[in-house]
Amino acid sequence: MSNALSQLVVLITGASSGIGAEIARQCAAKQMRVAITARDAARLTDMAAECRTLGATDVFIVAGDVGIEADCKRIVHATVDHFGQLDILINNAGLGASGKLEEISDLTIFDTLMRVNYLGSVWSTAHALPHLKKSRGRIVAISSLAGLTGVPKRTAYAATKHAMAGFFDSLRIELAGTGVSVTVIYPGFVFSEINQRALSPNGQPFGDHAYQRKVGETMETAECVRQIMRATERRDRDLVMTFRGKIGRILKLLSPRLVDSIARRVISKRQ
């Protein structure tokens, strides 16, 4: 693959673990200039050291909570102050939740997930947009297959990912002619810490017992990110991952009930 991304400035949210950390590694290996953000500053420091070893020419750490608009603004401004430009924003920070609606005792889960997954992406994008217009840059949003279809036990999570799809698909149309591209990514199951951090029905994280087990198709993080990098480089409109995801998108138009029953079967094997 060519290295068309070399030297570009990328801001990655949720870069302290999982998919975001691997995006930072692969951007570093492409000699990009990398800004990494998440709440855990210590893990970001470790990530920055890894990125430098892998070849990033400049790595900038800015800790913050994307569930707070002022933090999103500060993260974007600090990045632009440091590098003097912004070419790519990757809205990756996210939080999961699992449990049937009637089992959920702490309904604040719904607003927490909406703030982190949806509003965090909206706020970061809104503050980054003037800079991305100057660079004719790229916006990337990490949604989920749960952003394309309903998933049992994932009402809170699926709603945020559908909201992201609606927001970014609309924004793409608004930005036609500006040179700024919008790429929405729909991964299936990917190895990461998402299940440990996911909120249980009482509002507490599931913790270590929820380690992502190899059930059915769970994609390696590195492969998921290779696909994200390719879509970003090509400014693809969107990327639906996995065979089941691609077929499901078409099948939903023809037989939405069949897609519902597939989603029920898939989730019954997981937490």
Ligand X SMILES: NC(=O)c1ccc[n+]([C@@H]2O[C@H](COP(=O)([O-])OP(=O)(O)OC[C@H]3O[C@@H](n4cnc5c(N)ncnc54)[C@H](OP(=O)(O)O)[C@@H]3O)[C@@H](O)[C@H]2O)c1
The H-or-E segment that residue 9 falls in is strand 9-13
Site track for ligand X across 90-119, x = CB under 6 A: --xxxx--------------------x---
Nearer to ligand X, 134 or 262 (CB): 262
Looking at residue 200, the DSSP 8-state letter turns out to be P
Rounded to whole angstroms, the Cα distance separating 236 from 246 reads 15
At its nearest, how many Å lie between ligand X and the CB of residue 43? 6
Buried (b) or exposed (e) across 142-159, using 16+ Cβ within 10 A? Answer: bbbbbbbbbbebbbbbbb
Per CB under 6 A, does 232 bind ligand X?
Answer: no
Count of residues that interact with ligand X, criterion CB under 6 A? 29
Rounded to whole angstroms, the Cα distance separating 37 from 254 reads 41
Cα distances from 115 to residues 112, 121, 174, in angstroms, run 5, 9, 23
At its nearest, how many Å lie between ligand X and the CB of residue 129? 19
Nearer to ligand X, 6 or 111 (CB): 111
Nearer to ligand X, 136 or 211 (CB): 211
Per CB under 6 A, does 266 bind ligand X?
Answer: no
Tell me which residues are annotated as active site.
Answer: 157
**Interface ranges with ligand X (CB under 6 A):** 13-20, 38-40, 43, 65-67, 92-95, 116, 142, 144, 187, 189-190, 192-194, 197
